[in-house]
Amino acid sequence: MTEGGAPIGVVGTGYVGLVTAVCFAHLGHHVVCMDVDAAKVESLRRGAVPIYEPGLDKLIEDNAVRLSFTTSYDELLAACHTLYIAVDTPPTLAGDADLSRVLNATHQIAQRGGRRLLVMKSTVPVGTGERIVADLEAAGLKGEVTYVSNPEFLREGAAIQDFLEPDRIVIGSSTVEDGDAVEELYRGIDTMVVRTNVPTAEMIKYASNAFLATKISFINEIANVCEQVGADVRTVAHGMGLDHRIGPHFLQAGIGYGGSCFPKDVQALKQLAGNSGYHFQLLTAVLEVNHLQKRRMVGKLKRHLGQLRDKHVALLGLTFKPNTDDLREASSIVLAARLLGEGATVSAYDPVIAPGDHALFPGVTLCADAMEALRGADAVVLVTEWAEFARLDWPAARELMRRPFVLDGRNFLDPETLAAAGFEYDGVGTGDLGLARAPVANG
Ligand code: UDX
């Protein structure tokens, strides 16, 4: 609601819920954030942000007067008519999206009665909105609780910018009034608004993520072919991306995508299609290519080092991408486990992962800085392109390592700098010859 009006309620204070709440507060709305996790709510009340998202703590501080936090549905519902649902929808063992948290939230809201506008921010399979509306009607709430789909397109690490300067806002509703009410919340943001029905809005979200994941798997396969034929995927991607029909984005070859969205959303769309009788062949390949891409790194290390038994491999970066502390579906997890499985010793450093034991990396020595991780290593694999790795003192690193070999899983480092520091370099689709190949065109 607009400034001075009833607050917006947001259920779930994870990445999506918290960013949504704080950005709405920044737009001038009062926002009540609700989460069942008491420790999280307590820390947010103290101004301590439980997640790493650049700019978020400052934005919370700046908008503290318009933000409140609670664990109580009663408190939330006493204050709010418009309720955003932003709880997570992790994959079930069958690969579908697990809706239990979403359905629990809608159940809690429905149970307490009253006129409500439910707005779905969580990524839910196509058909979920209709299912929730049918459930609400069966519970005698027809006309009381209305439903709008308003999917998120927030990248971790750039979530605030993505919220405040989005490429588009998608609003799926069954009545014009409900859609208008949600559109009004975004007043002050200048962008295209796509107004449609609920299932179409739900599909826009899945199709967008599945398409982006397809782009990544596509360029990764091109990279793999480049390695066979002596082409350089970086220049191939540059040349392709200049065609405006293709565009330059999401053509960065590497060790595969991870994170909380792409892996689960691609899987969920494939399952959704399968459950409705359609075999989505392309997505099966997208998933498989992504899976194999992580394992290819082990093969490359073997080509350079021979058997990995008793070799020491250092990993630089563990998070699924830079500027986040998120390890969900990170390529590092599979890579580290495979290397240990081959009998290698594995050390690692990530700027936001504390040294010591970590449940996702059993058997890996997590170090306090990059140099410590590299000491005595036979190879270093750049897994996540944190900016500080480009600025590393590579000549000093070379002195510390047993063998100066860099496998750049993100084609992020400058091969010339590494060659000058005495390193052997290999990337993804850049060719073993590295420097002997055509240079990457700029601009
Ligand atoms: C993504 C979507 O971008 C966002 O719109 C959606 O709402 C949530 O999922 P996010 O998971 O934060 O956001 O990550 P993103 O920046 O999109 O990157 C996803 C993964 O793809 C990362 O592991 C990244 O390293 C990888 N990636 C991305 C590539 O390997 N190559 C690329 O060219 C781009």
Q: What digits encode the pLDDT tens for the residues 184-243?
A: 999 999 999 999 999 999 999 999 999 999 999 999 999 999 999 999 999 999 999 999
Count how many residues are written for the chain.
443
Residue 1: the pLDDT is 46
Give the residue range(s) of CATH 3.40.50.720 domains in the chain: 8-196, 231-426
Comparing CA positions, the residue from 114, 115, 189 lying closest to residue 150 is 189
- Residue 35 CA to residue 70 CA, distance in Å, equals 7
Could you tell me if residue 36 is left (phi over 0), alpha (psi between -120 and 50 degrees) or otherwise beta?
A: alpha
For residue 8, what is the enclosing H or E element?
strand 8-11
- Residue 187 CA to residue 166 CA, distance in Å, equals 13
DSSP-based three-state secondary structure for 144: coil
Residue nearest to atom 33 of ligand 1 (CA): 250
- Residues contacting residue 370 through CB under 8 Å, at least 6 positions apart: 316, 349, 388, 389, 392, 397
Sites in the chain below the pLDDT cut of 70: 1-4, 432-443
Query: Which atom of ligand 1 is least distant from the CA of 256?
Result: 30
CB atoms within 10 A of CB 143: 8
CB atoms within 10 A of CB 250: 16
Which protein residues are within 6 Å of ligand 1, measured from CB? Answer: 152-156, 209, 212, 216, 250-252, 254, 257-259, 261-262, 320-321
Distances (CA, A) of 20 to 27, 161, 162, 168, 327: 11, 11, 10, 15, 21
Comparing CA positions, the residue from 362, 384, 413, 425 lying closest to residue 156 is 384
**Angle at CA of residue 406, ends 405 and 410, nearest 5°:** 165
**CA-CA-CA-CA dihedral for 302, 303, 307, 309, to nearest 10:** -30
Query: Which atom of ligand 1 is least distant from the CA of 216?
Result: 31
DSSP state of 442: P
330 C-alpha to ligand 1 centroid (Å): 11
Buried b / exposed e over 11-46, threshold 16 CB at 10 Å, is bbbbbbbbbbbbbbbbbebbbbbbbbeeebbeebee
Residue nearest to atom 6 of ligand 1 (CA): 153
Q: Strand locations in 79-209, DSSP E?
A: 82-85, 116-120, 145-149, 168-173, 192-196
* CB contact at 8 A, 10 and 32: yes
Number of helices followed by number of strands (H, E) in the chain: 17, 14
DSSP state of 299: H
DSSP state of 378: S
Distances (CA, A) of 56 to 25, 157, 354, 359: 12, 10, 21, 27
Residue nearest to atom 20 of ligand 1 (CA): 257
Residue 432: the pLDDT is 55
368 C-alpha to ligand 1 centroid (Å): 27
Which residue(s) pair with 34 in the sheet?
11, 70
CATH 3.40.50.720 fits 8-196, yes or no: yes
150 C-alpha to ligand 1 centroid (Å): 20
Q: 231-426 — its CATH code?
A: 3.40.50.720
Q: Strand locations in 345-388, DSSP E?
A: 345-349, 365-366, 379-382
CB atoms within 10 A of CB 357: 11
Q: Which of 321, 386, 408 to mutate to test the pocket of ligand 1 (most atoms within 8 A of CB)?
A: 321
Global pTM reads 0.93
pLDDT tens figures, 309-353: 999 999 999 999 998 889 999 999 999 999 999 999 999 999 999
Residue nearest to atom 28 of ligand 1 (CA): 250
Query: Which atom of ligand 1 is least distant from the CA of 205?
Result: 7
- Residue 87 CA to residue 270 CA, distance in Å, equals 22
164 C-alpha to ligand 1 centroid (Å): 18
Catalytic, out of 23, 33, 80, 261: 261
Residue nearest to atom 34 of ligand 1 (CA): 250
DSSP state of 259: S
Residue nearest to atom 9 of ligand 1 (CA): 261
Whether 261 sits among the annotated catalytic residues: the reply is: yes
DSSP state of 91: B
Residue 439: the pLDDT is 41
Q: Which of 262, 287, 290 to mutate to test the pocket of ligand 1 (most atoms within 8 A of CB)?
A: 262
335 C-alpha to ligand 1 centroid (Å): 19
280 C-alpha to ligand 1 centroid (Å): 21
- Residue 304 CA to residue 378 CA, distance in Å, equals 10
For residue 16, what is the enclosing H or E element?
helix 15-26
96 C-alpha to ligand 1 centroid (Å): 20
Query: Which atom of ligand 1 is least distant from the CA of 215?
Result: 33
- Cα Rg for the chain, rounded, in angstroms? 24
Residue 295 tokens, joined:
């394992």
Sign (positive or negative) of CA dihedral 393, 395, 399, 403: positive
